Structure 1
Amino acid sequence: MEDKKALIYACAKELFSAKGFKETNISEITKKSGMAVGTFYNYYSSKEKLFMDIFLEENAKLKQLCFQSLDLTQPPIKVIGQMLMLNVEGMKSNPILREWYNKSVFEKLEQVYREENGVDAVAFLYDNFLELIAYWQEQGKIRKDIDGKMIMMVFAAVINVDTHKEEIGIEYFPELLNLMTELIMKGLDCSE
């Protein structure tokens, strides 16, 4: 049974990577995997659920890769700046993660995720870095009077700004992200 689910997952990942979320349909996924459409529904309730599972796995891999690339001996402002840059570059280079920037697609996917995991479930945006924030707070490197989860939501908001480039003005990017990060980190800094 798990082999069938893994095959559906692998075929869907390949199709989503090549064609994108909107252009891939369930019948293509099942045809590629050599299974009937009904078999798909034994494992996934919808194309959105399958895509979100793939997205979350790819996102977790990217966050882990980014985290491993960081020089944690640097001041928090440099680490966060580097992290945001690595994250944006990684998302843009991965066709699955690039769907984050397709507003109509990601709004639908986020809705599916929140319905399944709860309204406040956004841990996939920051899960690995909460410990780092707590460590910096303990070390007196960043403010302790702001909850670590709230700090992570501030960083999630910075990442989300990138999805609104056209509305804000594409000519302001990536300088806008760099400036926002710098200003936020100066506001969190305890070293001065």
Structure 2
Amino acid sequence: MYFSINTSYKVFMIDKKTAIYNCGKELFSSNGFKDTNISDITKKAGVGVGTFYNYYDSKEKLFMEIFLDENVELKKNMMVSIDLEDEPGKLIKEILKFNLNGMNSNPILKQWYNKDVFNKIEQLYREENGINSVHFLYDNFIDIIEKWQLEGKMRKDIAPDFIMTIFFSIINMDTHKEEIGIEYFPEILDYLTEFVMKGLAI
């Protein structure tokens, strides 16, 4: 009897966390991170504010979990949509293009362009995973870079994580297109990618 009660209790607790997660995702998607607060989420989920803190330390923590899950889903879709056997220059362009389009079309991932929001999320991630962690949006592409280096298609004198930082720098320019000149986008990203890939090629 004790086992049965304990099992039901665990299921009930999991359901509460799922409700908080799903309602948070819905509200973040419709209202944005800034205009969604914990009381909005708990009210929609039908739980108390105290219950929220049983699972998440903050609104940022919940958003980061949702953001990372959405990013993983984007990467999965990307991996079945691109040809990993394409030559490096073409493949990187396809990856960056797919990533930008995916982030622009997803209301959760689009928060990346809100630097007030994203800086908090990135800081939280680095606090938990180390200040020198590879940027969490692109770290799984290191395997592709290492493969190219082993195949002699890319320079080996530059560390893979540093190469990822170079690619992140290109992507990050999209958040500054108004400052640079929106009339130059997305062509400037294509040219920069081309120049970088030529510099990395052997």
TM-score higher than 0.5: yes
Displacement, 1:18?
0.8
Report the aligned-residue RMSD: 1.1
TM-score with structure 1 length normalisation? 0.95
Would you say the 8 A contact 1:60–1:124 is kept in 2? no
What residue in structure 1 maps to residue 17 of structure 2? 5
Higher relative contact order (CA 8 A, sep 6+): 1
Larger Rg: 2
Q: Secondary structure at the match of 1:74?
A: coil
Name the CA distance, whole Å, in 2 between partners of 1:150 and 1:64: 23
The question of 1:64 aligning with 2:80 is answered no
What residue in structure 2 maps to residue 36 of structure 1? 48
Would you say the 8 A contact 2:134–2:161 is kept in 1? no
Q: Deviations over 1:46-71 (max 9, x none)?
A: 00110011111111111221122111
Q: Secondary structure at the match of 1:146?
A: coil
Name the CA distance, whole Å, in 2 between partners of 1:104 and 1:67: 30
The question of 1:132 aligning with 2:132 is answered no
Name the CA distance, whole Å, in 2 between partners of 1:123 and 1:167: 23
Pairwise mapping of residues 40-119 of structure 1 onto structure 2 (< 5 A)? 40-119=52-131
Q: Structure 1: 5+ residue runs without aligned partners?
A: none
What residue in structure 1 maps to residue 35 of structure 2? 23
What residue in structure 1 maps to residue 168 of structure 2? 156
Q: Structure 2: 5+ residue runs without aligned partners?
A: 1-12
Displacement, 1:115?
2.1
Name the CA distance, whole Å, in 2 between partners of 1:120 and 1:144: 21
Name the CA distance, whole Å, in 1 between partners of 2:128 and 2:161: 21
AA partner of residue 134 (structure 2): V
Displacement, 1:123?
4.4
AA partner of residue 61 (structure 2): K
Deviates more, 1:176-185 or 1:105-114: 105-114
AA partner of residue 178 (structure 1): D
What residue in structure 2 maps to residue 186 of structure 1? 198
AA partner of residue 56 (structure 1): L
Q: Percent identity, aligned pairs only?
A: 62
AA partner of residue 133 (structure 1): I
The question of 1:14 aligning with 2:29 is answered no
TM-score with structure 2 length normalisation? 0.90
Displacement, 1:127?
2.4
AA partner of residue 146 (structure 2): A
Deviates more, 1:76-85 or 1:127-136: 127-136
Would you say the 8 A contact 2:135–2:165 is kept in 1? no
Number of aligned positions between the proteins? 190
